[in-house]
């Protein structure tokens, strides 16, 4: 088995790739039968998978070490290449949707490909190529700014992920000082963060208008492949969150304050959950990886096969290091049929969360590797997150291996944390709708808007006089707002669906695992709501769906005597 370190990387040759694709698309458009077009589609798929694989390898290696000059240059090149690729793909999509053999091709490949093609065609024209390249460069600028954080704290210079254990410290003074140090990094660079985002907002609004949209919001939805819901439906879903989940989250914050012996929580207390300390895994990265291999070996034959491949091919980079990009993600290298998990372990329970979360993404990618169409290798993003968030819950029976006597503490923390996340995710989404509905707003007006939205969805949040955060600076930390506009609500939609898998697994584990694996097997061959229907999950946009799903979760949390954890 070829390891990731041995994967060959070559920067895609733009001219040669474009010439090959244009020849194939021309022949496709002029083909005399559906069979000929079908054969040409197979060749087009191979070309596209090869191109996307090179970009994925380069981007992974860049995030592993943002100071690596070679891959930094390759990432810059990808920022320029990807909009060009979007144009090439548009020419193929135009030929595809106009095919006189479309009914035959839809029977062969399924209607979802054609929906996605039509959405993509609305998001690109040659006239916005330069703007798309500029958008990519600004996103990379944001990533580098955060990755370059150097925070002098307790005698050492630390990056942002390395500050997390101090923010969760049992010592309240340490928590306060750590939160202030992180806030100071962002406030020191306020003009840079504001400047990057201001340029992004104006750029995206201009792109949308040049493409014929009234503003960026509908363009963003089209970019995300949302074929079966719109902004109005998302607004209705957010109202369900406000009515059913925000009150539960507020009650959980009150319980947390009581547990840790405080009359109320300050912002720097939110990460500290238990007076005996938060649950932490019993070992470091290699120890966690060994426990993870046990978990997936025992979960099912399918997960064993998958995770053994991930370990043996060294398709994970889990430890935080200086110069490594922040966050975690799963990428996919189609040419090698290889998912890749990237993370920044920091000694907290989040290390286990991110391993199971990203393994959910990677398992789906592994199960979907047989799809020939690149669009079907993974679904749209809200469906992708069901795989990851549900895997976190499916892994619950093995948490004793990671946390020992603190396993029940972890389970309570994990489920309550999932509930607490949803209002924040909805706030991020509502903020972005405000921003792009008011593209001429000043940076200070945006920060004020964030603070207003935050007060609706997170009414318990108390910044204890931190002027930068009180004035609405928290959102600088949320990379999705800069890099992936409107993606963040997808996590909350998926979390609601994952709560259903949590409940079903408690009642009938084997059947639930079969349903989950079936969802992964479908990849991106259906739209979001079609995947939910095929899997027997509720549609979170339906009236009352959020309340029906959250009811059993609230009942379980209420049954736990958390004061003794």
- Torsion, Cα of 545, 547, 553, 554 (10° steps): 180
Res. 107 pLDDT band, cuts 50 70 90: very high
- Alpha carbons 155 and 361: distance in angstroms, whole number: 38
171: phi then psi, degrees, rounded to nearest 5: -90, 115
- Alpha carbons 402 and 546: distance in angstroms, whole number: 31
DSSP annotation string for 333-352: EGGGTEEEEEEEE-SSTHHH
Over the chain, what is the mean pLDDT? 95
How many angstroms from the chain centroid is the CA of residue 512?
24
Give the pLDDT of residue 79. 87
Query: Quick one: average pLDDT of 523-535?
Result: 97
Q: Does 151 have pLDDT greater than 90?
A: yes
Q: What angle do CA 500, 223, 122 make, to 5 degrees?
A: 135
65: phi then psi, degrees, rounded to nearest 5: -150, 95
Give the pLDDT of residue 532. 98
Q: Does 20 have pLDDT greater than 90?
A: yes
Please state, as a whole number, how many other Cβ atoms lie within 10 Å of the Cβ of residue 169.
Answer: 18
312: phi then psi, degrees, rounded to nearest 5: -65, -30
Query: Quick one: average pLDDT of 12-39?
Result: 96
Query: Quick one: average pLDDT of 332-352?
Result: 94
- Alpha carbons 262 and 460: distance in angstroms, whole number: 13
Burial of 96 (0-12, 13-18, 19+ CB in 10 A): buried
Res. 292 pLDDT band, cuts 50 70 90: very high
Query: Quick one: average pLDDT of 303-311?
Result: 97
Q: Does 446 have pLDDT greater than 90?
A: yes
Q: Does 173 have pLDDT greater than 90?
A: yes
Which of 274, 320, 158 is closest to 563 using CA atoms?
274
Q: Does 150 have pLDDT greater than 90?
A: yes
Give the pLDDT of residue 168. 86
105: phi then psi, degrees, rounded to nearest 5: -70, -35
Q: Does 564 have pLDDT greater than 90?
A: no
Give the pLDDT of residue 185. 96
Query: Quick one: average pLDDT of 6-11?
Result: 97
How many angstroms from the chain centroid is the CA of residue 226?
16
Strand 338-345 and strand 316-319: pairing?
A: parallel
Q: Could you read off the pLDDT of 224-233 as tens digits, one per residue?
A: 999 999 999 9
Percent of the chain with pLDDT over 70: 100
325: phi then psi, degrees, rounded to nearest 5: -65, 150
Give the pLDDT of residue 322. 87
Res. 565 pLDDT band, cuts 50 70 90: confident
List the alpha helices (DSSP H) in 148-245: 160-167, 172-188, 190-210, 216-223, 231-240
Percent of the chain with pLDDT over 90: 94
Say if residues 306 and 292 touch (Cβ distance below 8 Å): no
- Alpha carbons 90 and 287: distance in angstroms, whole number: 46
Q: What is the 3-state secondary structure (H, E, C) of 361-414?
A: HHHHHHHCCCCCCHHHCCCCHHHHHHHHHHHHHHCHHHHHHHHHHHHHHHHHHH
Give the pLDDT of residue 305. 98
pLDDT greater at residue 70 or residue 346: 70
Q: What angle do CA 105, 110, 111 make, to 5 degrees?
A: 95
Say if residues 342 and 328 touch (Cβ distance below 8 Å): yes
């Amino acid at each position: 088995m070829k390891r990731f370190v041995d994967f060959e990387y070559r920067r895609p040759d733009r001219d040669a790739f474009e010439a090959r694709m244009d020849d194939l698309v021309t022949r496709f458009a002029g083909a005399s039968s559906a069979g000929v077009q079908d054969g040409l589609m197979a060749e087009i798929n191979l070309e596209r998978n090869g191109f996307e694989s090179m970009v994925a390898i380069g981007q992974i290696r860049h995030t592993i070490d943002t100071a690596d000059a070679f891959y930094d240059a390759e990432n810059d090149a990808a920022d320029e290449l990807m909009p060009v690729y979007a144009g090439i793909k548009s020419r193929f999509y135009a030929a595809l949707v106009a095919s006189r053999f479309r009914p035959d091709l839809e029977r062969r490949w399924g209607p979802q490909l054609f929906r996605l093609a039509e959405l993509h065609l609305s998001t690109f024209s040659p006239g916005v190529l330069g703007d798309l390249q500029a958008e990519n460069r600004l996103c990379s600028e944001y990533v580098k700014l955060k990755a370059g954080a150097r925070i002098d704290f307790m005698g050492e210079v630390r990056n942002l992920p390395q500050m997390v254990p101090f923010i969760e410290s049992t010592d309240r003074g340490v928590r306060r000082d750590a939160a202030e140090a992180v806030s100071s990094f962002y406030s020191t660079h306020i003009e840079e963060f504001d400047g990057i985002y201001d340029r992004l907002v104006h750029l995206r609004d201009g792109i949308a208008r040049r493409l014929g949209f009234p503003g960026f919001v509908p363009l963003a939805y089209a970019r995300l492949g949302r074929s079966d819901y719109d902004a109005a439906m998302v607004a209705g879903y957010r109202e369900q969150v406000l009515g059913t989940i925000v009150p539960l989250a507020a009650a959980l914050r009150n319980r947390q304050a009581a547990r840790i012996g405080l009359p109320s929580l300050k912002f720097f207390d939110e990460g500290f959950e238990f007076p005996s300390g938060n649950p932490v895994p019993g070992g470091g990265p290699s120890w966690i990886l060994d426990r993870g291999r046990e978990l997936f070996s025992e979960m099912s034959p399918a997960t064993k096969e998958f995770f053994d491949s991930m370990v043996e091919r060294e398709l994970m980079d889990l430890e935080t290091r200086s110069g490594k990009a922040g966050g975690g993600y799963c990428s996919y290298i189609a040419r090698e049929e290889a998912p890749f998990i990237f993370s920044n372990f920091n000694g907290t329970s989040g290390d286990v969360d991110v391993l199971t979360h990203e393994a959910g993404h990677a398992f789906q990618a592994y199960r979907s590797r047989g799809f020939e169409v690149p669009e079907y290798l993974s679904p749209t993003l809200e469906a992708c997150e069901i795989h990851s968030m549900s895997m976190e819950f499916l892994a619950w029976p093995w948490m004793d291996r990671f946390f020992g006597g603190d396993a029940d503490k972890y389970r309570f923390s994990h489920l309550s944390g999932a509930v607490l996340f949803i209002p924040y995710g909805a706030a991020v989404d509502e903020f972005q709708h405000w921003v792009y509905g008011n593209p001429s707003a000043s940076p200070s007006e945006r920060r004020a808007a964030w603070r207003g939205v935050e007060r609706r969805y997170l009414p318990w949040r108390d910044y204890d006089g931190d002027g930068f955060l009180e004035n609405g600076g928290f959102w600088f930390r949320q990379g999705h707002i800069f890099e992936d506009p409107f993606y963040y609500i997808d996590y909350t939609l998926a979390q609601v669906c994952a709560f259903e898998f949590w409940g079903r697994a408690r009642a009938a584990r084997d059947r639930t695992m079969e349903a989950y694996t079936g969802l992964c097997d479908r990849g991106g061959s259906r739209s979001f709501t079609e995947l939910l229907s095929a899997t027997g999950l509720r549609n979170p946009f339906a009236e009352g769906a959020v309340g029906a799903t959250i009811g059993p979760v609230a009942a379980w949390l209420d049954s736990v005597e958390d004061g003794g954890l």
